[in-house]
Amino acid sequence: MIYLDNAATTPVLPAVSQVMLETLNTTFGNPSSIHSYGRSAGKIIREARKTIATILDVPARNLIFTSGGSEANNQALIGYALANRAKGNHIITTAIEHHAVLHTVLYLQDRHGFDVTLVKPNPDGSFTPDLITNALRDDTILVSTMYANNETGQILPIAEIADRLKTHQAVFHVDAVQVMGKLPIHPVALGIDFLSASAHKFHGPKGVGFLYHGDLQFDNLIHGGDQENSRRAGTESIHNIVGMAKALEVSAEQLDANYNKVSALKTQLLSELDGLNYYVNEFGKTMPHVLNLGFPSFNQDLLLMKLDLQGVAISTGSACTAGAIEPSHVLEAVYGKASVKLKESVRISLSDLTTSQEITDFVHILKTIITQNSSHN
């Protein structure tokens, strides 16, 4: 089996599953309880929060543990928009966002009457800070962009956008799900007001993530008890939180080495693809972890199926929409709805656990499938 769908999710590291199991076996107390069992659980959560806060170089009190990236995005966008409506009614995001952002701002538009601007990339697919600043209005209260795109790996100009927003009332939310654990990220230094992350994208468990927030006024998304500094009700998932902290700690320790390894794997992949008829959907600076390739006249769903039968896992785009027949909204934003590229492009996503041999074996299988398909046409 060759797993090349790491943008969808990543394998859990043995060191992560080990600390999770230890926590499950030894720490079952409710962190809100005042007895020793509860205090022990509470201490573990505080330590995990401190670990993540240190890596991000932010105050620990400004981190909210969530059920994942989607909840973190919803908490930031809905929470801030509803609490700050008196300041304005306009929200800006991009047309290439993950649906966890797109569907959330459209909910705010449809159910709460916010005016939403979806900013498309430039005609060549590039994304420049001017695209955001040109869309700003006096009543804009919130700007939301991803750090890197989950389908193409494209890196957006986060620092430049943040810098331009310094003189505007709009706060800046960044969906950092695809870069957390892969790039050094310091929200305060960058001028980011909200930042979302999800553990299962950096070899942690599913069902847990976090939201960094500045000292801002925003409504709670989940109401009840006083957990998470009264920001998110519900008994904390201690083992998941511990697993997430461990995964990010391991990733941070190996950040440069892992990035260089994945960069080398991408270079190898493109080199070994030589001779095949294909193109790369790449728009400026990208993460080496994600590669979006088009194979002319080869239906993407058929290619995925044939690769799957050979034990290779890739995707056509976001795993959250892969079950649908909808074409990629990311590529549509660049090429237009009628483009054939929407039907022949696939996503290959790597991790630091991917091996050079797996790349070689994948290319061999891919070339065999495409050659057989060409001979049948």
Residue 261: both structure tokens together: 């390894």
pLDDT at 158 over 90: yes
Active-site residue (options: 233, 320, 365, 370) = 320
The pLDDT, as a whole number, for residue 376 is 61
Residue 320 among the catalytic residues: yes
The SS3 assignment for 197 reads strand
20-34, 122-136, 284-298, 362-376: which has the minimum mean pLDDT?
A: 362-376
**Number of Cβ atoms within 10 Å of the Cβ of 320:** 15
Strand partners, 3: 313
Q: Give the pLDDT band (50/70/90) at residue 373.
A: confident
The pLDDT, as a whole number, for residue 356 is 98
pTM as predicted: 0.96
Share of residues in the chain with pLDDT > 90 (%):
95
The pLDDT, as a whole number, for residue 247 is 98
pLDDT at 318 over 60: no
| Sole residue written with tokens 């904390």 | 236
CA distances from 7 to 33, 41, 150, 259, 313 (A): 38, 32, 6, 15, 12
Q: Give the pLDDT band (50/70/90) at residue 325.
A: low
CA distances from 359 to 1, 272, 277, 354 (A): 12, 9, 18, 8
Sketch out the chain's domains with CATH numbers: 2-9+255-376 (3.90.1150.10)
Q: Give the pLDDT band (50/70/90) at residue 326.
A: confident
Q: Give the pLDDT band (50/70/90) at residue 372.
A: confident
Buried b (16+ CB within 10 A) or exposed e, 113-133: ebebbbbebeeebebebebbe
Helix (H) or strand (E) holding 242: helix 238-253
Q: Are 237 and 45 in contact (CB under 8 A)?
A: no
- Taking the CA atoms of 69, 70, 72 and 77 in sequence, report the sign of the dihedral they define: positive
pLDDT at 267 over 60: yes
CA contacts within 13 A on the Cβ side of 20: 21
The pLDDT, as a whole number, for residue 103 is 98
Taking only the tens place, the pLDDT of each residue in 1-49 is: 999 999 999 999 999 999 999 999 999 999 999 999 999 999 999 999 9
The pLDDT, as a whole number, for residue 212 is 98
Helix (H) or strand (E) holding 119: strand 115-119
**Number of Cβ atoms within 10 Å of the Cβ of 294:** 21
Taking only the tens place, the pLDDT of each residue in 162-218 is: 999 999 999 999 999 999 999 999 999 999 999 999 999 999 999 999 999 999 999
The pLDDT, as a whole number, for residue 317 is 72
